[in-house]
């Protein structure tokens, strides 16, 4: 009996692709969640255009738990193929949402890009660290709020230049 030498690496590749899918999905969920936080009306519009549901389906394990903390029944009955289809569908809807946001609100998207790259990890823990670190993080958060306001004003002016 001959063994297929690619069989072992195929499962590794499959597992790696599965992890990659989850990382992309988590990034997109976070990006859309922050867009909804910073630009609620614009994010809702982009999500409506993309036909993306506003509730996150994959923002970690907590999203897949019921109110009593137990896994939902549909998660237990779902086959890996169906789960993959559901996650890919969600990822496509989120990618379309991000694409719509970039298209219609380029300045807001630029602020979100910078935030996701530079500030996201630090701002989650703005209450931790030395008093100086906390002050710096709060200052950066205030700067971010100003950047968000400015981006929104620029996008609004570009969309409707006669009203601004």
What pLDDT is attached to residue 122? 63
Q: What whole-number distance in Å separates Cα of residue 137 and Cα of residue 140? A: 5
Contact 65, 116 (CB under 8 A): no
CA distances to 7, 71, 97 from 50, in Å: 38, 28, 5
Which tokens hold the place of 99? Answer: 């694409």
What pLDDT is attached to residue 48? 86
What pLDDT is attached to residue 40? 86
What pLDDT is attached to residue 8? 43
Helix (H, G, I), strand (E, B) or coil at 68: coil
CB atoms within 10 A of CB 162: 5
Question: Which mean pLDDT values do the consecutive 10-residue runs of the chain (164 residues) have?
Answer: 42 63 89 86 84 57 42 65 88 92 90 83 66 84 86 87 61
Which tokens hold the place of 35? Answer: 């867009």
What pLDDT is attached to residue 104? 86
What pLDDT is attached to residue 6? 40
What pLDDT is attached to residue 72? 47
Q: What is the pTM of this model?
A: 0.66
């Amino acid at each position: 009996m001959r063994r297929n030498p690619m069989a072992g690496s195929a499962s590794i590749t499959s597992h790696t692709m599965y992890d990659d899918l989850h990382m992309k999905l988590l990034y997109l969920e976070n990006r859309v969640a922050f867009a909804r936080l910073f630009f609620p009306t614009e994010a809702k519009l982009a999500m409506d255009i993309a036909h993306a549901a506003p509730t996150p389906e994959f923002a970690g394990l907590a999203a897949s738990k019921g109110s009593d903390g137990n896994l939902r029944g549909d998660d237990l009955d779902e086959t890996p193929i169906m789960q993959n289809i559901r996650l890919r569908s969600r990822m496509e809807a989120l990618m379309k949402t991000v694409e719509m946001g970039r298209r219609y609100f380029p300045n807001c998207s630029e602020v979100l890009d910078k935030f996701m790259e530079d500030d996201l990890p630090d701002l989650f823990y703005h209450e931790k660290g030395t008093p100086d670190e906390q002050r710096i993080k709060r200052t950066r958060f205030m700067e971010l709020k100003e950047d968000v306001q400015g981006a929104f004003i620029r996008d609004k002016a570009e969309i409707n230049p006669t009203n601004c």
